[in-house]
A and B are shown apart, each in its own frame.
Chain A
Amino acid sequence: MKIKIKLLKPFSDIAGKGEVEIEPKGETVSDVLNSLCELYPELKKEIFEESGEVTYSVNIFVNDKPMSALEDESTRLKDKDEILIFMPVGGG
């Protein structure tokens, strides 16, 4: 299946692009992130802790829902799903 990933700052700066389309090995969000980090190894330390967990300074939306409203990294995806990766920041 094909998954479209939209990267926002600072992840877009690190990967060098804002949009990536990948065919992940596997169907969960975790699998997609792993495939993404294989393509762009510098992203690995931004997205993952040493333990392998996704860090809190990353937020991920699957289509229109945050990962936390689904099954976190175990969320199963289907073909043409869109993933949004960004840093959660506040402000005014």
Chain B
Amino acid sequence: MKYLFTYPEKCTGCRQCSIACALKKLGECNPKKGAINVLRDEFDRYELQFVCLQCEEPECVAVCMVKAITRGDDGIVRIDPEKCIGCRMCVIACPYGAITSFGGDIIKCDLCDGDPVCIKFCSTDALVYEEENEEILDRRKELAKLLLKKE
């Protein structure tokens, strides 16, 4: 299964991922309403992305009392807006701060059902959509180069 992987060291803080997400899902340019959010602090000198990791055993599913959140057969965790009562327990429960609560809306990444729009707007590969085994293989190869000084 493919997941979104983030590399904060490559993130430039441009927020095009967030803006594209809100534009696709809600028709408005608004980085605060993206399912992916970039926390920028130029004074503490970092850029950090927050997005749902589509957990195998999601905390958000466990705490939702009205069963509005489910993990589908495709591995994607979705919130059903018809059932959601906006209590924000999922927002609090998520260990990764990946669910956004904004203006009465609860916003969570659904990987655009398999064709995520955010990755198309990242110019530095700080955000990729890859098979989990391929991603770990890529990263292990990078580490091998470093550890074994193979360039």
- Any A–B CB pair closer than 8 Å: no
